[in-house]
Chain A
Amino acid sequence: MGKVVLMQGNEACVEGALVAGMRLFAGYPITPSTEIAEISAVRLPQEGGKFIQMEDEIASMACAIGGSVAGVKSMTATSGPGFSLKQENLGYAALAEIPLVVVDVQRMGPSTGMPTSPSQGDMMMARWGTHGDHPVIALCPSSVKETYDLIIRAFNLSERYRTPVLFMMDEIIGHLREGMELPELEEVEVIDRKTVKYPEPKRLPYHIKKGKLVPEMAPFGMGQRYNMTGLIHDESGFPTNSNEEAEKLIDRLMHKVSDNYADIVKCEQVGMDDADVAIFCYGGTMRAASSAMDEARKAGIKCGIFRPITIWPFPEKELLEAAKHVKRIIVAEHNYGQMVLEVERVVKDACRIDFLGRYNGTVITPDDLLAKIREEK
């Protein structure tokens, strides 16, 4: 068993990222994600990496992309308003297929909102925030330990699929300190992007090998000398106006994520074997749900929990299967109703769906959930 240490969620995010190989962090101060920048500033130069505080959120995102283009695993972190500002360049990274991790420690909005209050109000922005069609991988941790493990997975997924991965934290977990067991480093799986073996100048950067969906280009400076652009491009990396090429590109971008659903999508199901009522929750809301489930079971109510760990792509197969075996799903989230729309889309009439939203800056408590569980029809 590894050593157990007291760690804050935001700190675990940085420590995990370092294990995953992050060596560049570009950020801008914003509550409640600031500790991620502060700790990165301390830790990165100690590990031979670089920290830079950029002039704004847009620049932070651009700088992290630039770092990755030069072959260094890069991360940026922000909260609500900053996440809004990063959206354009997020689309760039998705289209140009640049691996990086973007952390959003969500806070209450809209606008400046309540900067120190917990929220999960950016879930739909994570999926649809930037313009155009593009794939999204987004993960949600629900403990400090999971933050550590999952940020490593975020880097691994971004490297494997050459796409930005969104790490959707919330204030509940970001600012929580709890004990976590450090893994044995040699047991941690770290994935690096595939690059061409012989980076010659005429090699097509976006060439896709037969049966594959992800390009394998060398970082800048290795000799491949290709072009990257946010314009629709063909396998040469140069802009094209071909409608056929445009469709082919968007299809491939979508398929590289959707065809790998089994590898990307993870969820946790607790007590679902015999559950009559399931709590659907993610991130910090899980903590109230697990206490509520324990209480409900003590009271003889067969309660279970369905928790997406990968929130995008949405774990629709697992949820639909689970919905067939329960009478009710209670969707609990810290917003006015975002992921509940996905639950409704997937579950349809398979079971009853109730919603418990919280959008006043307080957290959903186990008692709130118990009251909902006990609610008559």
Chain B
Amino acid sequence: MSRQEIRLAGSGGQGIILATVILAEAAIQAGMNTAQSQAYGPEARGGSCKAETLISDQTIGFTKVQNPTFLMALTQKSLDQYGPEVSENCLVLIDSGLSAPQDMKAKRIVALPILDTARTVVGKIQTANIVAVGCINDLLGITDAKTLEKAVLMHVPSGTEQLNIKALEEGFKLAEGHEEK
């Protein structure tokens, strides 16, 4: 797979970091190289937060995302903050209901009801990050469903496995037949 520079943004507590860790794990399980890191600090506890995963079949030198090929934003605040930074070709996944900022150059935007699916279909808002992971894998084609499921199970707390697998499946469904705006 060609090099993917994935940046996920949202608010602290949405499990953004864990989502990037799972994507990194999926890449490892699929035999690719990856580098995952996150912005630490007070923003990790309530403000907007971002985390990143690089995936490549080549050796990864510099470990930070410089030109995101993919951005996901789950809150308007984080979209406003990180949206304008990405280039025209970056694929942007936003939660339904968010509106792209005026100065965002990216043209490929997918809006999916990630938070609502977690809340109403899965039944727990805390699973939004796993719903998102399902969507992202579908959009980027990182690995197959089985491998991703394994990656999810390696990183979610014990006792929550079933719930998170449901969230992942809902994420797959959500991304199926999506439309780029």
Q: For A5, A32, A177, A288, which residue has the most chain B Cβ atoms within 10 angstroms?
A: A177
Asked whether A6 lies within 8 Å of B66 as measured between CB atoms, the reply is no
A178 CB–B CB distance under 8 Å: yes
Asked whether B35 lies within 8 Å of A178 as measured between CB atoms, the reply is yes
A260 CB–B CB distance under 8 Å: no
What separation, in Å, do the CA atoms of A116 and B37 have in the docked complex? Answer: 12
Partner of A6, one of B24, B38, B40: B24
Given A178-B33, A178-B63, A366-B61, check contact A32 B40 (CB 8 Å). Answer: yes
What separation, in Å, do the CA atoms of A284 and B64 have in the docked complex? Answer: 11
What separation, in Å, do the CA atoms of A116 and B50 have in the docked complex? Answer: 14
What separation, in Å, do the CA atoms of A31 and B36 have in the docked complex? Answer: 18
**Chain B residues within 8 Å of A366, by CB:** 61-62, 66
What separation, in Å, do the CA atoms of A233 and B60 have in the docked complex? Answer: 51
Asked whether A175 lies within 8 Å of B37 as measured between CB atoms, the reply is yes
Given A176-B37, A179-B34, check contact A365 B64 (CB 8 Å). Answer: yes
**CB within 8 Å of A: which B1-58 residues:** 21, 24-25, 27-28, 31, 33-41
Asked whether A31 lies within 8 Å of B33 as measured between CB atoms, the reply is no
Expressed in whole angstroms, the minimum distance between the Cβ of A15 and any Cβ of chain B is 16
Asked whether A5 lies within 8 Å of B28 as measured between CB atoms, the reply is yes
What separation, in Å, do the CA atoms of A179 and B57 have in the docked complex? Answer: 12
What separation, in Å, do the CA atoms of A291 and B25 have in the docked complex? Answer: 23
A172 CB–B CB distance under 8 Å: yes
Asked whether A6 lies within 8 Å of B61 as measured between CB atoms, the reply is no
What separation, in Å, do the CA atoms of A367 and B36 have in the docked complex? Answer: 20
Given A291-B62, A365-B64, check contact A175 B28 (CB 8 Å). Answer: no
Asked whether B60 lies within 8 Å of A363 as measured between CB atoms, the reply is no
Given A5-B28, A31-B40, check contact A176 B35 (CB 8 Å). Answer: yes
Partner of A179, one of B28, B38, B62, B64: B28
Asked whether A175 lies within 8 Å of B66 as measured between CB atoms, the reply is no
- A79-117 CB mask vs B (1 if < 8 Å, else 0) is 000000000000000000000000000000000000110
The interface size of chain A toward B, counting residues with CB under 8 Å, comes to 24
**Chain A residues within 8 Å of B64, by CB:** 363, 365
Given A177-B37, A178-B33, A178-B35, check contact A172 B63 (CB 8 Å). Answer: yes
Asked whether A6 lies within 8 Å of B60 as measured between CB atoms, the reply is no
**Chain A residues within 8 Å of B39, by CB:** 116
**Chain B residues within 8 Å of A175, by CB:** 37-38, 40
What separation, in Å, do the CA atoms of A294 and B39 have in the docked complex? Answer: 27
**Chain B residues within 8 Å of A31, by CB:** 40
Expressed in whole angstroms, the minimum distance between the Cβ of A326 and any Cβ of chain B is 20
- A248-275 CB mask vs B (1 if < 8 Å, else 0) is 0000000000000000000000000000
Asked whether B62 lies within 8 Å of A288 as measured between CB atoms, the reply is yes
Expressed in whole angstroms, the minimum distance between the Cβ of B157 and any Cβ of chain A is 14
A358 CB–B CB distance under 8 Å: no
Asked whether B28 lies within 8 Å of A4 as measured between CB atoms, the reply is yes
Asked whether A291 lies within 8 Å of B61 as measured between CB atoms, the reply is yes
Asked whether A294 lies within 8 Å of B61 as measured between CB atoms, the reply is yes
Asked whether A365 lies within 8 Å of B62 as measured between CB atoms, the reply is yes
Q: For B28, B31, B38, B66, which residue has the most chain A Cβ atoms within 10 angstroms?
A: B28
10 contacts between A and B (CB under 8 A): A6-B34, A116-B39, A175-B38, A176-B37, A178-B24, A178-B36, A178-B63, A287-B60, A288-B62, A290-B62
Further 6 A-B residue pairs, CB within 8 A, beyond A179-B28, A291-B62: A5-B28, A32-B40, A175-B40, A177-B34, A290-B62, A365-B64
Return the 5 tightest CB-CB contacts between A and B, nearest first.
Answer: A291-B61, A290-B61, A116-B40, A177-B36, A291-B62
B-side interface residues toward A, CB under 8 Å? 21, 24-25, 27-28, 31, 33-41, 60-64, 66
